[in-house]
Amino acid sequence: MGALEEMVILIAAAAKEEAYAVSIAREYTLRTNQEISIPAIHTVLKRLETKGFLRSYESAPTAERGGRKKRLYQITTSGYSLVAELRHQREELWSVIPKMSI
């Protein structure tokens, strides 16, 4: 899993409200101070859904979007297992890094 995929799945998992491409891109920019295009987010979301780490569904049409639906994303059980394993691996690596005295 690449760094961008990891960030996107973590953002989707942490979403307190509905996770969709625009909200994920906003959160990504907020967390990383780097802009990301909506098409790039869509590509990553589709890849994560194909791998079974996210599932998507359509919202009801909204007036704010001119009656169009949003594609919303939720983390799956296997997606949650993946991020838990990634966290565990990172914590193990951090535990063996020597502390520096400054």
Which pLDDT value is given to residue 81? 96
- Could you tell me which residues come within 8 angstroms of residue 95 by beta carbon, excluding any fewer than 6 positions away? none
Tell me whether residue 56 is in a domain. Answer: yes
54, 75 in Cβ contact below 8 A? yes
- Could you tell me which residues come within 8 angstroms of residue 62 by beta carbon, excluding any fewer than 6 positions away? 68, 69, 70
Tell me whether residue 100 is in a domain. Answer: no
User: What pTM does this model have?
Assistant: 0.84
Tell me whether residue 12 is in a domain. Answer: yes
* 21 confidence band (pLDDT: 50, 70, 90): very high
Looking at the structure of the chain, the number of domains it has is 1
Give the range of the structural domain holding residue 61, as residue numbers without chain letter. Answer: 3-95
Tell me whether residue 23 is in a domain. Answer: yes
Tell me whether residue 102 is in a domain. Answer: no
User: Domain containing 78 — which CATH number?
Assistant: 1.10.10.10
User: Assign residue 54 a region: left if phi > 0, alpha if psi is -120 to 50, beta otherwise?
Assistant: beta
Tell me whether residue 101 is in a domain. Answer: no
Which pLDDT value is given to residue 65? 66
User: What is the per-residue pLDDT across 44-91, written as a single tens digit (0 to 9) for each?
Assistant: 999 999 999 999 999 877 777 677 888 999 999 999 999 999 999 999
Better pLDDT: 10 or 66? 10
